[in-house]
Structure formats: C-alpha cells, structure tokens
Amino acid sequence: MGKEKRCLKYSWKELEKDCRQISNEIYGLNVRFGCIVAITTGGLIPAGIIAKNLGIKEVYTIGYSSYKNRKQERLINTTPLWDYLMYRNVIIIDDIVDTGRTMLKAKENVEGRNNSVLTVALHYKLSSIFTPHIFVHKTKQWIKYPWEKYEKN
C-alpha cells in the first residue's frame, strides 16, 4: 500500500488531452517528420495517437529493458534498428523519461543512422539525465498509466 500511495494514476482522458497538446506542438514546428519510433512498451499507445493526429503513417518500435520490480537494472536493447531508417526526420516517443537513459540511448541509436531526432514524452522526471525536446508534465512521482492496469510489478 505504501508504494501505491506514491503513484500518480494517469487516465485515458488525460492521455488524449496530452497527446493532442504534443501533436499541436509538433505541428507548430513546421517540420515534416517521416516517421515515429515508439519506445516499447510505454511509448506505443502515445505514439499511435500522435501518429494519427499528425497523419504520420510509418510507426516503428525500438525496445530497451531496464526495470524489474520497479528497480533500475542494466539497460539492454531488445530490438534492432532497421537498415531503411536513415536520413529522415524522426520523432521518438515514450510515456516517461525517468532516468533518461532509455531515451538518450534511443536518440543516440537513431541519430547514429544520420537521422534528425525530436524526443517526446508525456512525463519527465526532474532527476533525469536527459530532457526531452517536448514533454507535458514534470514529476517526481511514479506514474501508473491506464495500459498498465494488468501489469505485474
């Protein structure tokens, strides 16, 4: 119960509103983005909504694993990048930039293929080593997203 008290419950309604805000901000940049890369699994749903809002048809995934029972462990890349993802304007999306290690690694990997990258997150933790280009909320709390309803810690 102590851990749940420190969790901020995030709703589907908040997600829709925040994705609309992010989409408007990206649209206002007047840059043509060719694709979105969602960091799995937290970035999948926001990436889908934002892609739909912006009319972006190409959505890819990149995966990293570092958490086990809310404990940070070694960062492991669980999916390879694609040979055809080169020389593009790419949006990388995750639900939260927590430590910043995952988003930073994804950015480095995608930029390493001569892409221009915009990083996006719904939430950004103040203690992170990396600040995304676009985010909606600063937080210190653990976030419980609606798609994590059945997730085991």
- pLDDT, tens only, 34-52: 999 999 989 999 999 999 9
Is 20 inside a domain boundary?
yes
Residue 63 token pair: 């995966």
Q: State yes or no: pLDDT of 33 exceeds 90.
A: yes
Is 150 inside a domain boundary?
no
pLDDT in tens, 21-30: 999 999 999 9
pLDDT in tens, 88-112: 999 999 999 999 999 999 999 899 8
Is 122 inside a domain boundary?
yes
pLDDT band per the 50, 70, 90 thresholds, residue 75: confident
Is 61 inside a domain boundary?
yes
**CATH assignment of the domain containing 99:** 3.40.50.2020
Is 151 inside a domain boundary?
no
Lowest mean pLDDT among 96-100, 144-148, 149-153: 149-153
DSSP states of the chain: -HHHHTEEE--HHHHHHHHHHHHHHHHTTT----EEEEEETTTHHHHHHHHHHHT---EEEEEEEEEETTEEEEEEE-SPPPTT--SSEEEEEEEEESSSHHHHHHHHHHHTTT-EEEEEEEEEETT-S---SEEEEEESSEEE-GGGTT---
- With a threshold of 0.75, does the pTM exceed it? yes
Q: Could you list the residue range(s) of the whole structural domain that residue 41 is in? A: 2-65+72-145
Is 128 inside a domain boundary?
yes
Is 16 inside a domain boundary?
yes
Total domain count, the chain: 1
